[in-house]
Chain A
Amino acid sequence: MTKTPSSASPSLYEDKRIISMPVRYLINIVAIAVFMLIGNLIISEGIINRTYTTILLQVGVYIILAVSLNISTGYLGQLPLGHAGFMAVGAYVGALAWKAMPHGLGYMIIGLIVAGIAAGIVGIIIGIPALRLRGDYLAILTLGFGEIIRIIIINLPDITGGTPGLLNIPKYSNFNVIFIFVILTCYIIHTMMKSRHGRAILSIRENEIAAEACGINTTYYKVMAFSVSAALAGVAGCLYGGLQGSLFPSAFGFMDSINILVMVVLGGMGSMIGSVLAASVLTALPAMLQFLASYRMVIYSVLLILVMIFKPSGLMGTYDFSLTGLIEKAIIKIRGGSKNNAKEGQANE
């Protein structure tokens, strides 16, 4: 319908990517494969013992929890306080599905998908009333939801095992399974945020009124971001069940939600690598230094206060890690002057 001036020179933006897309994927896939191989070697060669292996796997689960919560807090700019609730939904639904099905790789994946879908649907149910309103309704509603889920689990002993716990869950969550789901989660979030949907989510955080004036259906995208966040928490919960072999409602309390939130805030809201690092450190440290366990909350508070004073945007701010981006920077540095000449040559053509 409309015409635009033809004087455009869309050069600057394209020039930043000097590694072509297929090569970027290849580099990342190789890096992931190397990581996975190293992990397997470390475990099979007995370089780290059973306790440390378990801690490593827990780190994986908490990375998924932190990066998924980061969608709601960092990217969407809301403050949900019930992430452990969605984790619980996924954990119990997934564990019950696993127990009901025969053993096998396919059934394991089905269980994880069912767990994610269940938590995602609960996310939609909570999100629609809470997110239609502006303001802090989401914090209050999710806070209540987290507690309600726990009480429901306690009061349905025939299904969930109640307080004594749900036992004999198939222990599917080995290093490879958790590693692949960590990568998958990060990939899904990364590609989502690099799409029009991700930008719509960011625009709501930045300025909701302007987002609406740009024709963005803010309620839809809020609920979408929130339910994707919940669904991934559900998957993490399911992996958690497969790691522990048993589930107890006490593992999904308010403090557990806060625990995940602390990871996101410390790492830097809106930074995936920040969430990954903070989740790793805050899961591994207390587990390794058992004597610190009882002081955990004190240490968290001090850490949070220090970060708020010295780096309010979190340790990594909104920085996004990119392996290929780093390689590109290095190449540009090495090639330096010769590249500029090439650019001028192109412009003259």
Chain B
Amino acid sequence: MSKNQKQPVKLVPIPSPNIIPERDVDMSPILEISHLGIDFGGLTAVEDLNMAIGRTEIAGLIGPNGAGKTTVFNLITKVYQPTRGTIMLDGRDTAGLNTIQINKLGIARTFQNIRLFKDLTVLDNVLIGLHNEMDYHLAEAILRLPSYWRAERIARERALELLSIFDMQDLANVKAGSLPYGAQRRLEIVRALGTNPSLLLLDEPAAGMNPSETSELMENIQKIRDTFKIAIMLIEHDMNLVMGICEGICVLNYGKVIAKGTPEEIQANPEVIEAYLGKKKEAN
């Protein structure tokens, strides 16, 4: 990993930002990505990515398989350090930070291949998300001081409240690994919300869900945005979901942005249609 080089904060003009919702326009965007790129050996997985996300926007990142979508999430959360470009979170350059610091600064995520704490209970999974919301010391826990009991009680209530978004509070004592697939994806979202993010990244949240689960998820994503007043960026192959709830969409193909705009603009964009249909032809 690269050293903690402090770069001066610079204001980069954003060539073609996502559509920031009306209600967010007078505020600075929560996330600004400019000229972002990463190479894996000879392969350029992401190239010259520019985008901005409003503070309460639901943004979509779509594209054919292998387009580099997950890689963008990994770059934002510093699983990979970018080869080029900058990522500004809330006006602050994130160069040199690591995954943990990024989470503490307000970005939470879910994973395309679910990464739950499988042998722990649903409640413990959410409590781990709430880890940094509690502040008692190890000695306080061992001596079981009132500060320990208070923090644990508040965290448990909060965890159950968060679980109730998806009506999962009754599953609190169930092992996470024994949940059905859809519930595991929902639990990942709840756990991410526990870290009190201002930007939530969802990597294919509807994968493996049936149509009724998906439409429920759509409502809940909007509900989360409305209650928590946070920005959400999601990767999804389910076009109904993307076109239904995203306000701005960015289309990637071979690591490059091929289109940006509102759902209507994206649906009418010939390049996007070609990328998807072209892919389909190959598959056939």
Question: Chain B CB within 10 Å — which of A12, A202, A207, A210 has the most?
Answer: A210
| B150 contact set on A, CB distance < 8 A | none
Is B116's CB under 8 angstroms from A215's CB? no
Could you tell me the distance in whole angstroms from the C-beta of B220 to the nearest C-beta in chain A? 11
A16-B173, A192-B141, A318-B119 in contact; A199/B124 too (CB < 8 A)?
A: yes
The interface stretch among B19-27, B30-38, B129-137 is: B129-137
B28 within 8 A of A: no
Q: Are B144 and A212 in contact (CB under 8 A)?
A: no
Contact of B144 among A2, A13, A191, A203 (CB under 8 A): A191
Other than the given A2-B227, A5-B227, A196-B134, 14 more pairs (CB < 8 A) read A4-B227, A8-B164, A10-B160, A12-B173, A13-B156, A196-B127, A196-B155, A197-B141, A206-B120, A213-B99, A213-B108, A214-B128, A214-B131, A218-B100
- Is B116 within 8 A of A207, CB to CB? yes
Q: How far is the CB of A213 from chain B (nearest CB, A)?
A: 6
Chain B residues 116 to 155 lying within 8 A of chain A, measured CB to CB, are 116-120, 123-124, 127-132, 134, 136, 138, 141-142, 144, 148, 151-152, 155
Task: Give the interface size bracket for B toward A.
Answer: 35 or more
In the complex, are the beta carbons of A210 and B169 less than 8 A apart?
no
Minimum Cβ distance to chain B for residue A93 (Å): 23
Interface residues of A in 1-36 (CB under 8 A from B): 1-5, 7-10, 12-13, 16
Q: Is the CB of B141 within 8 A of A210?
A: no
List of A residues within 8 angstroms of B160 by Cβ = 8-10, 13
Assuming A13-B172, A192-B141, is B103 touching A199 (CB within 8 A)? no
Q: Report if B158 contacts A (CB, 8 A).
A: yes
Where the two chains meet, the residues of A that have a C-beta atom closer than 8 Å to any C-beta of B are 1-5, 7-10, 12-13, 16, 187-188, 191-192, 194-200, 202-203, 206-207, 209-218, 224, 318
Most chain B beta-carbon neighbours within 10 Å: one of A188, A192, A197, A213? A213
Q: Which residues of B contact A216 (CB under 8 A)?
A: 100, 128, 131-132
Contact (Cβ within 8 A) A212 B103: yes
B201-229 interface with A by 8 A CB criterion:
223, 227-229
List of B residues within 8 angstroms of A2 by Cβ: 196, 227-230
Q: How far is the CA of A17 from the CA of B237 in the complex (A)?
A: 44
Give, as a whole number of angstroms, the nearest-CB distance from A137 to chain B. 17
Q: In the complex, which of the residues B117, B123, B196, B228 contacts A202, with contact meaning CB atoms closer than 8 Å? A: B117
Question: Which 7 A-B pairs rank lowest in CB-CB distance, beginning with the nearest?
Answer: A195-B141, A215-B103, A206-B117, A10-B160, A210-B115, A8-B161, A212-B99
Q: Which residues, 147 to 187 on B, are CB-close (under 8 Å) to A?
A: 148, 151-152, 155-158, 160-162, 164-165, 169-170, 172-173
**CB-based contact A13/B138 at 8 Å:** no
Contacts of B124 in A (CB 8 A): 199, 202
Task: Check if A13 sits within 8 Å of B123, measured CB to CB.
Answer: yes
CA A194 – CA B143 in complex, angstroms?
A: 12
**Residues of chain A within 8 A of B157, CB atoms compared:** 8, 10
Partner of B128, one of A4, A209, A211, A224: A211
Return 27 A-B CB contacts under 8 Å, by A number.
A2-B227, A4-B162, A4-B165, A4-B227, A5-B165, A8-B169, A9-B160, A12-B173, A13-B172, A16-B173, A194-B141, A195-B142, A195-B148, A196-B134, A200-B128, A206-B120, A207-B115, A207-B116, A207-B118, A209-B115, A210-B111, A212-B99, A212-B100, A212-B103, A213-B192, A215-B103, A215-B104
Could you tell me the distance in whole angstroms from the C-beta of B152 to the nearest C-beta in chain A?
Answer: 8
Judged by a CB distance under 8 angstroms, whether B69 is at the interface is no
CA distance A253 to B172 in the complex (A): 45
Considering the chains assembled together, what is the distance between the CA atoms of A215 and B105 in angstroms? 9
Of all chain A residues, the one with the shortest Cβ separation from B151 is A196
| Chain B residues with CB below 8 A from A218, complex form | 100
A216 to chain B, nearest CB (A): 6
Contacts A2-B230, A8-B157 given; does A210 touch B116 at CB 8 Å: yes
Q: B191 in the interface, Cβ–Cβ < 8 Å?
A: yes
Bound Cα distance A216, B133 (Å): 11
Residue numbers in A under 8 Å from B173 (CB-CB): 12-13, 16
Give the chain B neighbours of A199 by CB distance below 8 A.
120, 124, 127-128, 131
| With A10-B156, A218-B100: A202-B120 Cβ-Cβ less than 8 Å | yes
Contact A213 B141 (CB under 8 A): no
In the assembled complex, B260 has its CB within 8 A of some CB on chain A:
no
Q: Does B18 contact A (CB under 8 A)?
A: no
User: Is the beta-carbon distance between B136 and A195 smaller than 8 angstroms?
Assistant: yes
Closest to B143 in A: A191
A195 to B150, CA, bound (A): 12
A214 cross-chain contacts in B, Cβ below 8 A: 103, 108, 128-129, 131, 191-192, 194-195
A203 to B192, CA, bound (A): 14
- Nearest residue, chain A, Cβ from B228: A2
Q: Are B131 and A192 in contact (CB under 8 A)?
A: no
Taking CB atoms, residues of chain A closer than 8 Å to B108 are 213-214
B77 at the interface (CB under 8 A from A): yes
- Measured in the bound complex, the distance between the Cα atoms of B134 and A200 in whole Å is 12
Q: With CB as the reference atom, state the residue of chain B lying closest to A16.
A: B173
Q: Closest residue of chain B to A2, judged by CB?
A: B228
B residues near A200, Cβ cutoff 8 Å: 128, 131
B109 within 8 A of A: yes
| Set of chain A residues within 8 Å of B119, measured between Cβ atoms | 206, 318
